[in-house]
Amino acid sequence: MKINLRTDATKHNFALMKISSFHKAQGNQVWLNGVGIFDKTYGSWLYDFSEKAPCDIEGGPGLDPSIRLNGFDYEKPDYSLYGLDFSLGYTWAYCPRKCPFCKVPLQNNPKRHHSIWAFHDSRFRKICLLNNNTFSDPRWKRTFEEIWDVKLTVIDENGYDLRLINEEKADALKRTRFQGYIHYAWDQMEDEKEIVRGLKLAPRGMVYVLIGMNTTREEDIHRCQTINDLGHDPYVMPFNRIKEEKAFKRFIDSRMYRKYKTITEAWRDYKP
C-alpha cells in the first residue's frame, strides 16, 4: 500500500510519526505531504486557519480537538519521517486547567502516565517533552528521574505551571539540563499571587505572557515588569494578532526596556 501523511506542522507531527511506524512495519510505503495517487491518506492538523487538503482519515486540534487518530497509541514514533535527532513524546498529556483560550481541555486526554521509554530512542541524547502540564502528573518525578538516569538534554517549549511549583519541583528543574530556555506562563491576572510565588522559586526562564484576551495594556506591562524584576524574561503571545498587540510584542522582544528604569517609561518612548 502507498500511504500519504498530510499536515500543516512544520517541525514535526507526533500522531503522523506513529502512524508512519505502524504502516512501515506492515511493509507499506509512506510519504509525508506527498503528491499523487495513494491507497490511503491521513491528515493531522494543528492550526484552524491553515488550508486543509482532502484526506481519508483526519483529526487534530486544527480540525476538531476531540477527534483523535486512534489505534496507534502504542506505536513508537518514526523519527526518520522528519529526520529528527531527538526523541519526542508525552509522559503526561492531561492538563487540569480549563483555560478559555486553550484547546487542550477539548482533547479529552486521559490521566495516564507513560515512561519515556514508550517513545525514547536510545540513539538520541536529547528528548522533547510534549506534556501539557508535567507538574500535574502525580508521577512527575519519575519522568525526571528517567531523564537523569540516562543524562538526557530536555527540549521543552510548553510552559511549566508556575502555580504548581514548589521547592522540590524547582530543584528538579535546576538539576535538569535544558536546551535553551525553561518555559513558564502567566496568562491571567487573577493568578498573580500564585504566579509570583512560583517565579520566586523557579530557575531563570522565559515566561509566556498572553495579551489581548482579557487584560489591559497596563496589566500586560505590569506582568512583564514583575517577570523581569524576578529575574526572568517575558515573551508576549498576542491573542488577536492585531496591529497594537504585535507592536507590543515587538517592543518586548527588542529588550529595549532594559535601558530604562521601568517598562512603562520604555513603552512611552517606543516607536513602533
Query: Which amino acid, one-letter code, is at 243?
Result: K
pLDDT at 67 over 90: no
Q: For cell 508525552, what's the residue?
A: 90
| Mean pLDDT on 230-259 | 97
The answer to whether the CB of 140 falls within 8 A of the CB of 94 is no
Q: Is the pLDDT of residue 12 over 90?
A: yes
Q: In this predicted model, what pLDDT tens digit does every residue of 21-32 receive, in sequence order?
A: 999 999 999 999
pLDDT of residue 197: 98
Nearest CA-CA partner of 206 in 177, 235, 240, 228: 235
The model's pLDDT over 184-193, given as tens digits with 9 standing for 90+, comes to 999 999 999 9
226 three-state secondary structure: helix
Classify residue 212 as left (phi > 0), alpha (psi -120 to 50) or beta. left
CB atoms within 10 A of CB 55: 18
Residue 106: pLDDT band (50, 70, 90) is confident
What does the pLDDT look like over 47-59, one tens digit per residue? 888 999 999 999 9
Contact 65, 50 (CB under 8 A): no
Helix (H) or strand (E) holding 194: helix 192-201
Cell numbers 486512534 correspond to what residue?
A: 70
User: pLDDT band for position 152 (50/70/90)?
Assistant: very high
Contacts of 171 (CB under 8 A, 6+ apart): none
Strand-strand pairing, 177-178 and 57-59:
unpaired
Nearest in space to 235 (alpha carbons), one of 225, 249, 247, 214: 249
Which residue from 177, 209, 206 is spatially nearest to 192, judged by alpha carbons?
A: 209
The whole-number pLDDT of residue 157 equals 85
Q: Using CA atoms, how far apart are residues 3 and 31, in angstroms rounded to an integer?
A: 6
Question: Contact at 8 Å (CB) between 39 and 1?
Answer: yes
Residue closest to 250 by CA, chosen among 236, 264, 229, 234: 236
Mean predicted confidence (pLDDT) in 201-210: 98
Taking the alpha carbons of 99, 102, 106, 110 in that order, is the dihedral positive or negative? Answer: negative
- pTM for the full predicted model: 0.91
pLDDT at 71 over 80: no
- Tell me which residue of 180, 178, 263, 267 sits closest to 227, measured CA to CA: 263
Say if residue 65's pLDDT is above 90: no
Residue 77 DSSP symbol: P
Nearest to 209 by CA among 194, 224, 229: 224
CA-based end-to-end distance of the chain: 54
